[in-house]
């Protein structure tokens, strides 16, 4: 592996300081500092200085592995991209994968062994460990982990159990699937993983489910979803009944906001329609039409109809959905669960707490988990762990749990580790490091091996050992292929043929006392493990556009009833526990339901994440619950700022022009766009070798933000921090505007990614006094940072407001929480870091265009269609972003520009944008 070598290119801030003295320097000689070039002593294999290298690797989310490709330059990982060969990446990424490079270089990562906070040594630890486990077979020894599906880790745990037979292993995952597991037990008598073949469904009914939301299955689902929305494909009809907005709900053709209790009744009604006899459903009449239509269409589409239940639904509803799907012959595979433990997650967590308080343990190892944060305060885990004589925490950070333990052992980041993992369907892939460990850390497997005395074991050997035993044929060849492809061939599980139990009666949900809390993992920091990642903290929540915190989302009705205005700080009280956060009212959310996100309110996340937002998972008696009743909402005495990157999501009567919506019928009648240009007095643009253009399909876009973080990683876009956000400042080159507008009789929400429009008649250019904003011959509107003097006339005159100004030295001296220095290593060396006082903006990944052009020119050919891919385009799981050359009449973008749903943002200004859009399209009620 190449080692992290100091950046050989000149420190950019020095350069800027030099520039700053340019004027004076003309008078007195400016003595430029000597600049050193440090070559390798020994050049690593295959490395060309300054050229990117790509390694297939695996990153886990909630334990399940997804295969990605890591890009490193001069041995520094700088970017994560999708791995087309991996069934759960399909070449796309999500925000968590993109942000891993940020976590890798996080200066707050734990770098040393600690004993009661003080830095300690291996020897001290092993001595103490020996003490704790001497002369016993593991009696009173507990191991706590999150979900484990990695074959190697499972092998290590087996070995551990082998060495300490009577130890107890507790595994729980904060973002769990207990309801689905229980539902499967009811339906099939065993736990299974059910994977819908979404793309095969013509009609989908989602009962509070969010298959398009973040999670281990998002990328596969999103791609399937998009495959039914491309031009010409038979469009899917999606019905969603849900309490709070989900990305799936936003994508649905027909959505109805209902309380969880009503969703149970809807399930009952649909089941009855399929021939079950579960008593008469109690459907409020505003939902009747929805239910009737959904059932009718499901019936009509037998074999191609699918019903999905959400985690917030009780096990019975999941069971019923399995039964309905069976009746409908739904396209869904039931696979053996990769989760090695039979018990449910919440159950295990409670068991752990009970055993701790019963003082059953003399030693506890918490391996890469943070139960003290995840578990509700009612379990008093911190005290429990503290009461154990020997306790050790293995983790990336000195987090809440590390504080409760005596020992803390620093964990290696995935990008510096060898390991393996499995995807939801069992597809195995290797975790391959892109860099040597930055600090003296070890992987989870190494620690586990080491705890049973194999202290020499290196992760690399452990992984190879695992696979030597279960890969037939020439191992070395398969190994190289596995590393190269990022997947291990034929490791996916085969679907089970299961006998289905007839559904027992569906219990009537008791009408909730007080308001109910609908809780889900945070769309930016997930279950809290990414809370110290500045990119993700500044990545806005899809609907509220909130950053750096979590809001209490309430229905407008409740807001009115309780006299709560947007951004008021409110208290949510439940069982004596209180959550305080700013409130935001969400048109289209069910009355009586409060929406909350886990994952914020970390107590010991690091300089970035500590104290941001409110801790939601601490409340309630039932750990990891998705739904709680009996909440009381009231205005708070405290005041917590609501920080968002978009203050206005209503379109103020400009919907027709800005966020355009069409029904399939309207589209049918619309005649195809001609691509003809409106008249202008200005001359025709000069014809260059290429005419780059982008078409963004707002119909495919599900608002997952992957493009935003991908852009940030690719283009060294700095974070600005909460204070600056409150000032109304942000730096994202690509923003996803969230809009809500009534359409027909329902509230529509949609997403509009807005990069620079690269207008042919760019308004920003003629107003720049120094030619810092100019056009090049390939139609790019380029910003020359080093020429910019910061008049900001360009942004003032930009109708799309896509330009971003460095009010402070965000990427250098004045970086938020001193991130600047730490992230030098992550910076993409092909992109300038922008200094204070200059304007910047999207440039269609100019560095990639330039790389592609040079590659082509060296071979005296032109860049091929699809050869040039922007960072946002590469990341997009739904392929909503199309990029290419308008000079080719046959190119993707040229064709899309002729599509009937094609439109130009603010066309009346005749700025001739090169970035254009496809309308959001919905099925209408009538057509089948």
Residues 857-896 contacting another protein, CB under 8 A: 857-858, 860
H or E segment and range at residue 145: strand 141-145
Q: Give me the residues paired with residue 114 across strands.
A: 119, 408
Q: Which of 818, 878, 883 is nearest to 844 (CA)?
A: 883
Local structure of 18: helix, strand or coil: helix
CA 623/CA 617 separation, integer angstroms: 8
Measured in degrees and rounded to the nearest 5, phi and psi for residue 706 equal -55, -40
CA 173/CA 624 separation, integer angstroms: 9
Per-position x/- string for 805-824, each x denoting binding to another protein as judged by CB under 8 A, each - no binding: xxxxx----x----------
Footprint (CB under 8 A) of another protein, residues 736-755:
737-739, 752, 754
Residue 1 touches another protein, criterion: CB under 8 A: no
CA 51/CA 597 separation, integer angstroms: 41
End-to-end CA distance of the chain: 57
What's CA 485's distance to the chain center, in Å?
23
Residue 919 touches another protein, criterion: CB under 8 A: no
CA 494/CA 500 separation, integer angstroms: 18
Q: Using CB under 8 A, pick the residue from 839, 872, 875, 896 that binds another protein.
A: 839
CB of 206 to another protein, least distance (A): 27
Residue 650 touches another protein, criterion: CB under 8 A: yes
| Torsion from C-alpha of 851, 852, 856, 861, nearest 10 degrees | -150
Residue 777 touches another protein, criterion: CB under 8 A: yes
Q: Using CB under 8 A, pick the residue from 1, 25, 386, 562 that binds another protein.
A: 25
Helical ranges in 274-313 per DSSP H: 285-300
Locus of tokens 């360009």: 794
Footprint (CB under 8 A) of another protein, residues 361-390:
none
Q: Using CB under 8 A, pick the residue from 453, 507, 766, 866 that binds another protein.
A: 766
Instruction: Give whichever of 498 and 906 is closer to another protein, judged by the CB atom.
Output: 906
Measured in degrees and rounded to the nearest 5, phi and psi for residue 426 equal 95, -10
Contact 443, 459 (CB under 8 A): yes
Footprint (CB under 8 A) of another protein, residues 678-717:
682-683, 685-686, 688-689
CB of 537 to another protein, least distance (A): 18
Residue 39 touches another protein, criterion: CB under 8 A: yes
CA 571/CA 194 separation, integer angstroms: 38
Residue 651 touches another protein, criterion: CB under 8 A: yes
From the list 9-17, 327-335, 407-415, 559-567, the region that binds another protein by CB under 8 A is 9-17
Residue 801 touches another protein, criterion: CB under 8 A: yes
Footprint (CB under 8 A) of another protein, residues 653-682:
653-654, 657-658, 682
Largest CA-CA distance found in the chain, in angstroms, rounded = 92
Instruction: Give whichever of 265 and 765 is closer to another protein, judged by the CB atom.
Output: 765
Instruction: Give whichever of 358 and 684 is closer to another protein, judged by the CB atom.
Output: 684
CB of 762 to another protein, least distance (A): 5
From the list 56-64, 75-83, 319-327, 850-858, the region that binds another protein by CB under 8 A is 850-858
Number of residues that bind another protein (CB under 8 A): 115
CA 530/CA 100 separation, integer angstroms: 9
DSSP 117: T
Per-position x/- string for 273-312, each x denoting binding to another protein as judged by CB under 8 A, each - no binding: ----------------------------------------
Footprint (CB under 8 A) of another protein, residues 477-496:
none
Instruction: Give whichever of 293 and 729 is closer to another protein, judged by the CB atom.
Output: 729
Instruction: Give whichever of 90 and 798 is closer to another protein, judged by the CB atom.
Output: 798
CB of 524 to another protein, least distance (A): 19
Residue 135 touches another protein, criterion: CB under 8 A: no
Q: Using CB under 8 A, pick the residue from 764, 863, 874, 893 that binds another protein.
A: 764
Q: Give me the residues paired with residue 693 across strands.
A: 884
Residue 563 touches another protein, criterion: CB under 8 A: no
Q: Using CB under 8 A, pick the residue from 1, 15, 182, 452 that binds another protein.
A: 15
CB of 448 to another protein, least distance (A): 32
Q: Using CB under 8 A, pick the residue from 830, 913, 915, 919 that binds another protein.
A: 830
Q: Which of 597, 485, 685 is nearest to 67 (CA)?
A: 485
CB of 864 to another protein, least distance (A): 15
Q: Using CB under 8 A, pick the residue from 385, 768, 823, 899 that binds another protein.
A: 768
Residue 33 touches another protein, criterion: CB under 8 A: no
- If you write DSSP's letter for every residue of 790-812 in order, what string do you get? ---HHHHT-TT---EE-SS-TTT
Measured in degrees and rounded to the nearest 5, phi and psi for residue 618 equal -75, -20
Instruction: Give whichever of 123 and 652 is closer to another protein, judged by the CB atom.
Output: 652
CB of 704 to another protein, least distance (A): 18
Instruction: Give whichever of 323 and 883 is closer to another protein, judged by the CB atom.
Output: 883
From the list 21-29, 263-271, 409-417, 495-503, the region that binds another protein by CB under 8 A is 21-29
Query: How many Cβ atoms from other residues are within 10 Å of residue 182's Cβ?
Result: 17
What's CA 315's distance to the chain center, in Å?
27
Measured in degrees and rounded to the nearest 5, phi and psi for residue 443 equal -85, 165
Q: Using CB under 8 A, pick the residue from 633, 838, 874, 899 that binds another protein.
A: 838
Q: Tell me the pairing of strands 419-422 and 569-574.
A: unpaired
CB of 865 to another protein, least distance (A): 18
Residue 587 touches another protein, criterion: CB under 8 A: no
Q: Using CB under 8 A, pick the residue from 527, 541, 760, 885 that binds another protein.
A: 760
From the list 131-139, 163-171, 648-656, 699-707, the region that binds another protein by CB under 8 A is 648-656
Instruction: Give whichever of 635 and 648 is closer to another protein, judged by the CB atom.
Output: 648
Q: Which of 253, 241, 175, 246 is nearest to 553 (CA)?
A: 246
Footprint (CB under 8 A) of another protein, residues 48-87:
48-51
Residue 791 touches another protein, criterion: CB under 8 A: yes
CB of 13 to another protein, least distance (A): 10
Residue 538 touches another protein, criterion: CB under 8 A: no
Contact 4, 825 (CB under 8 A): yes
Encoding tokens for residue 184?
């499967």
Q: Which residues, in sequence order, are CB contacts of 813 under 8 Å at separation 6+? A: 13, 820
Contact 437, 412 (CB under 8 A): yes
Residue 831 touches another protein, criterion: CB under 8 A: yes
Residue 46 touches another protein, criterion: CB under 8 A: no
CA 806/CA 810 separation, integer angstroms: 7
DSSP 597: E
CA 695/CA 733 separation, integer angstroms: 16
CB of 19 to another protein, least distance (A): 8
Q: Which of 913, 920, 649 is nearest to 756 (CA)?
A: 913
């Amino acid at each position: 592996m190449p080692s992290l070598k100091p950046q050989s290119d000149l420190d950019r801030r020095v350069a800027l300081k030099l520039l700053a003295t340019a004027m004076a320097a003309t008078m007195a000689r400016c003595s430029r500092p000597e600049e050193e070039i440090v070559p390798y002593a020994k050049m690593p294999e295959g490395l060309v200085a300054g050229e990117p290298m790509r390694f297939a690797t695996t990153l886990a989310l909630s334990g399940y592995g997804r295969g990605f490709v890591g890009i490193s330059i001069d041995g520094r990982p700088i970017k994560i991209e999708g791995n087309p060969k991996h069934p759960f990446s399909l070449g796309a990424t999500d925000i968590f994968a993109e942000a891993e490079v940020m976590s890798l270089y996080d200066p707050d990562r734990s770098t040393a062994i600690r004993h009661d906070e003080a830095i300690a040594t291996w020897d001290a630890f092993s001595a103490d460990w020996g003490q704790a486990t001497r002369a016993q077979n593991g009696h009173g020894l507990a191991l706590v982990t999150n979900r484990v599906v990695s074959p190697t880790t499972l092998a290590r745990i087996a070995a551990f159990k082998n060495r300490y037979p009577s130890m107890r292993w507790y595994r729980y995952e904060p973002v769990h699937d207990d309801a689905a597991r229980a539902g499967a037990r009811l339906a099939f008598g065993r736990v299974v993983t059910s994977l819908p073949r979404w793309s095969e469904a013509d009609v989908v009914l989602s009962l509070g489910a969010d298959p398009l939301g973040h999670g281990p299955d998002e990328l596969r689902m999103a791609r399937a979803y998009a495959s039914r929305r491309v031009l010409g494909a038979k469009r899917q009809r999606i019905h969603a009944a849900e309490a709070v907005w989900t990305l799936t709900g936003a994508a649905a053709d027909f959505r109805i906001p209902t309380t969880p209790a009503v969703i149970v009744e809807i399930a009952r009604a649909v089941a009855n329609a399929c021939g079950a006899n579960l008593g008469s459903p109690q459907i409020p009449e505003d939902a009747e039409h929805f239910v009737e239509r959904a059932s009718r269409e499901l019936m009509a589409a037998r074999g191609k109809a699918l019903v999905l239940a959400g985690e917030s639904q009780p096990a019975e509803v999941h069971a019923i959905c399995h039964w309905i799907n069976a009746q409908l012959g739904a396209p869904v595979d039931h696979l053996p669960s990769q989760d090695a433990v039979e018990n449910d997650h919440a159950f295990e967590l409670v068991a752990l707490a009970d055993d701790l308080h019963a003082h059953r343990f003399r030693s506890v190892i918490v391996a890469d988990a943070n139960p003290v944060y995840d578990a509700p305060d009612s379990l008093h885990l911190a005290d429990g762990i503290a009461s154990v004589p020997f306790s050790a925490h293995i983790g990336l950070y000195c987090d809440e749990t590390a504080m409760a333990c005596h020992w803390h052992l620093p964990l290696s980041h995935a990008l510096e580790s060898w390991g393996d993992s499995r995807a939801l369907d069992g597809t195995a892939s290797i975790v391959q490091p892109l860099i040597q460990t930055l600090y003296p850390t070890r992987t989870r497997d190494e620690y586990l091996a080491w705890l049973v005395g194999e202290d020499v074991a290196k992760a690399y050997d452990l992984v190879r050992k695992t696979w030597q035993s279960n890969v037939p044929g020439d191992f070395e060849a398969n190994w190289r292929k596995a590393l190269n492809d990022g997947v291990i061939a034929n490791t996916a599980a085969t679907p089970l043929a299961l006998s289905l139990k007839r559904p027992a009666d569906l219990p009537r949900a008791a009408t909730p006392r007080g308001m109910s809390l609908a809780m889900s993992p945070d769309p930016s920091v997930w279950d809290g493990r990414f809370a110290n990642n500045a990119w993700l903290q500044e990545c806005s929540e899809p609907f509220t556009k909130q950053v750096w915190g979590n809001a209490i989302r309430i229905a407008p009705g409740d807001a009115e009833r309780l006299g709560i205005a947007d951004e008021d700080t409110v208290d949510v009280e439940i069982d004596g526990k209180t959550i305080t956060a700013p409130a935001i009212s969400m048109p289209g959310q069910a009355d009586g339901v409060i929406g909350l996100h886990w994952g914020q309110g970390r107590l010991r996340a690091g300089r970035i994440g500590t104290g941001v937002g409110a801790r939601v998972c601490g409340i309630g008696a039932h750990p990891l619950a998705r739904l709680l009743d009996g909440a009381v909402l009231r205005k708070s005495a405290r005041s917590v700022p609501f920080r968002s990157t978009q203050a206005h999501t209503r379109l103020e009567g400009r919907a027709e022009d800005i966020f355009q919506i069409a029904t399939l019928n309207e589209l049918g009648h619309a005649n195809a766009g001609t691509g003809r240009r409106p008249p202008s007095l200005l001359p025709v643009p000069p014809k260059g070798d290429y005419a780059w253009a982008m078409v963004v399909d707002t119909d495919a876009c599900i608002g997952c933000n992957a493009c935003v973080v991908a852009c940030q990683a690719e283009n060294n876009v700095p974070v600005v921090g909460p204070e600056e956000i409150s000032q109304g400042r942000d730096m994202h080159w690509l923003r996803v505007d969230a809009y809500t507008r009534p359409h027909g009789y329902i509230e529509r929400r949609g997403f509009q990614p807005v990069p620079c429009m690269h207008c042919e008649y760019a308004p920003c250019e003629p107003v720049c006094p120094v030619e810092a904003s100019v056009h090049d011959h390939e139609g790019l509107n380029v910003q020359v940072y080093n020429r910019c003097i910061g008049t900001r006339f360009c942004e003032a005159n930009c109708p799309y407001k896509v330009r971003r100004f460095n009010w402070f030295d965000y990427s250098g001296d004045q970086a938020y929480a001193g991130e600047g220095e730490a992230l030098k290593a992550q910076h993409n060396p092909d992109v300038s870091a922008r200094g204070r006082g200059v304007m910047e903006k999207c440039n269609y990944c100019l560095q990639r265009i330039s790389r592609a052009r040079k590659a082509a020119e060296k071979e005296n050919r032109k860049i091929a269609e699809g050869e040039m891919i922007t960072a946002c385009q590469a990341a997009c799981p739904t392929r909503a972003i199309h990029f290419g050359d308008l000079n080719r009449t046959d190119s993707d973008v040229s064709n899309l520009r002729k599509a009937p749903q094609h439109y130009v943002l603010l066309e009346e200004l005749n700025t001739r944008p090169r970035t254009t859009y496809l309308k959001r399209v919905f099925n209408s009620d009538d057509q089948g």
